[in-house]
């Protein structure tokens, strides 16, 4: 039996409980069955944004025609070199993690798969390990839909799409969420013919106005309301047979197929039956208000608990646990501040808080302010044809309940509202501050002015 102060299963967001506690003298063992850095570094956030950014440059070149700027011929670029740079950079960062751990006498890194042998004991099949605190941070993986024939084909998930051996001329994507919109937009900008297919609608959980705006400005066509009959692979091409809502069958064909239909937690190989740890019906680990599982001393955080699916939320939870268990000022139950999210597609989308549908369902009185990009000095300069900032403000407290942005720099623009929500700012606080003219943030100010107009109008009536 090898005994430590801390065991960490998963070297992605789990790293938040590796180096910091080692620096205060805790002996830590970290286990990772794949490449260190987790999904974000190796198969998600970072490589996808490195692929997306050059695709945005290509779109800017195309959109510059609106300003009378003409480029001679087509842009000359090597898409294979873009992916090569991404993969080399990611590999270098991932490889550096064990090297840094090896230099720390309080950290032991094990590139092994482990599982629970008993309540506070994990094993790799040869050696057993125990500790006062165990952290399960095993994340998620792509969820595969049950479509006849799919598993017999060489389909892609986001993993393969971010490191393709060859770049396809055509691509079918099943799914219409974050991954589909981001990678589909990038591949389309690189010259691939992309078509999206989905059972439901695009961005099912997004605010209604965001969905409506996106429908008219999709970066590639997406067919909704489909039933999938089969997937085959013949003559080096994929054939996807679908039925539309009228029951008519259609077959679509492409060189490659990307499955982006959600995620599922990595919990089935942990042998949680050897512990008191419980999961919900979808396999996500249940934790209490301090992120502790039903097994005392065993904690879980990140995607594997199914609360939020962002690296920034997992980092927040990891930092909380460090302070809660080892900090000088021990924290009580975790208190999440407003959790923003962004989709780096074209157009970019960012949100925080409740949607308008949430407020209607929960019968919460609210004001709504929507201001389009074009109704601002910056929008005029950019010749903005789409995009808006939408804010939802409580009629009772006049604090922001939710905000939704679609358009240029949405992921940056949302942070002003996130900070205001975190500080419990009211409508007058947003209206009372001075905004740089003519900066893009004036679009946000104008959205709050629309709220004030609605408030005054209702007050007079």
Condensed to tens digits (0 to 9), the pLDDT of residues 268-309 reads: 999 999 999 999 999 999 999 999 999 999 999 999 999 999
Domain identity same for 198 and 271: no
Percent of residues, the chain, with pLDDT higher than 90: 92
Domain region containing 121 = 2-139+264-326
Asked if the structure places residue 61 within a domain, the reply is yes
Structure tokens at 175: 């799914």
CATH of the domain at 35: 3.50.50.60
Q: Could you report the per-residue pLDDT of 403-438, keeping only the tens digit for each? A: 999 999 999 999 999 999 999 999 999 999 999 999
- Residue scoring higher pLDDT (381 or 73): 381
Query: What does residue 133 show for φ and ψ, rounded to 5 degrees?
Result: -125, 135
Residue 48 burial (CB < 10 Å; 0-12/13-18/19+)?
buried
Contact 395, 363 (CB under 8 A): no
Asked whether residue 36 carries a pLDDT value surpassing 80, the answer given is yes
Structure tokens at 326: 């080892």
Asked if the structure places residue 332 within a domain, the reply is no
Q: Which of 261, 290, 316 is the last residue of a domain?
A: 261
Contact 355, 402 (CB under 8 A): yes
Q: Across all residues in the chain, what is the average pLDDT?
A: 96
Asked whether residue 72 carries a pLDDT value surpassing 80, the answer given is no
Asked if the structure places residue 341 within a domain, the reply is no
pLDDT score of 461? 57
pLDDT score of 205? 94
DSSP state for residue 374 in the 8-state scheme: T
pLDDT score of 328? 85
Per-residue pLDDT, averaged over 252-270, amounts to 97
Domain identity same for 154 and 238: yes
Domains: count for the chain? 3
pLDDT score of 329? 79
pLDDT score of 73? 76
Q: Could you report the per-residue pLDDT of 142-194, keeping only the tens digit for each? A: 999 999 999 999 999 999 999 999 999 999 999 999 999 999 999 999 999 99
């Amino acid at each position: 039996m090898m005994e430590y102060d801390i065991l960490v299963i998963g070297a992605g967001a789990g790293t938040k409980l590796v180096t910091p506690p080692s620096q205060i003298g805790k002996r830590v063992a970290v286990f990772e069955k794949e490449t260190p850095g987790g999904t974000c570094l190796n198969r998600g956030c970072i490589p996808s944004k490195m692929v997306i950014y050059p695709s945005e440059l290509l779109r800017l070149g195309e959109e510059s025609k609106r300003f009378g700027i003409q480029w001679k011929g087509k842009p000359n670029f090597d898409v294979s070199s873009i992916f090569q740079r991404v993969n080399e950079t990611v590999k270098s960062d991932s490889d550096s993690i064990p090297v840094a751990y090896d230099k720390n006498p309080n950290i032991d890194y094990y590139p092994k798969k482990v599982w629970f042998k008993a309540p506070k004991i994990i094993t790799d099949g040869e050696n057993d390990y125990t500790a006062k605190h165990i952290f399960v941070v095993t994340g998620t993986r792509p969820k595969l839909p049950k479509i006849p024939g799919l598993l017999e084909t060489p389909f892609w998930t986001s993993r393969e799409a971010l490191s393709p051996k060859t770049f396809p001329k055509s691509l079918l994507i099943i799914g219409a969420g974050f991954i589909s919109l981001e990678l589909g937009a990038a591949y389309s900008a690189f010259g691939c013919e992309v078509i999206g297919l989905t059972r439901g609608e695009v961005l099912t959980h997004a605010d209604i106005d965001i969905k409506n705006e996106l429908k008219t400005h999709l970066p590639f066509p997406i067919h909704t309301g489909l039933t999938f009959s089969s997937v085959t692979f013949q003559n080096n091409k994929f054939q996807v047979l679908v039925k539309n809502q009228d029951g008519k069958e259609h077959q679509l064909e492409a060189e490659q197929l990307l499955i982006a239909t959600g995620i599922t937690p990595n919990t089935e190989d942990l042998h949680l039956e050897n512990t008191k740890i419980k999961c919900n019906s979808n396999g996500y680990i249940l934790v209490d208000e301090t992120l502790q599982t039903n097994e005392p001393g065993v904690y879980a955080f990140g995607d594997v608990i199914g609360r939020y699916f962002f690296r920034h939320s997992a980092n927040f939870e990891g930092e909380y646990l460090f302070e809660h268990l080892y900090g000088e000022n021990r924290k009580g139950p975790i208190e999440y501040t407003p959790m923003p999210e962004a989709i780096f597609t074209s157009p970019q989308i960012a949100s925080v808080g409740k949607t308008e549908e949430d407020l209607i369902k929960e019968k919460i009185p609210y004001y709504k302010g929507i201001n389009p990009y074009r109704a601002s000095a910056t929008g005029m300069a950019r010749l903005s044809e789409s995009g808006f900032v939408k804010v939802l403000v409580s009629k009772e407290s006049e604090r922001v309940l939710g905000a939704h942005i679609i358009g240029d720099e949405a992921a940056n623009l949302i942070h002003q509202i996130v900070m205001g929500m975190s500080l419990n700012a009211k409508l007058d606080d947003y209206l009372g501050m001075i905004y740089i003219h003519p900066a893009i943030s004036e679009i946000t100010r104008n959205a709050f002015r629309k709220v004030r107009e609605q408030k005054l109008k209702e007050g007079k009536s």
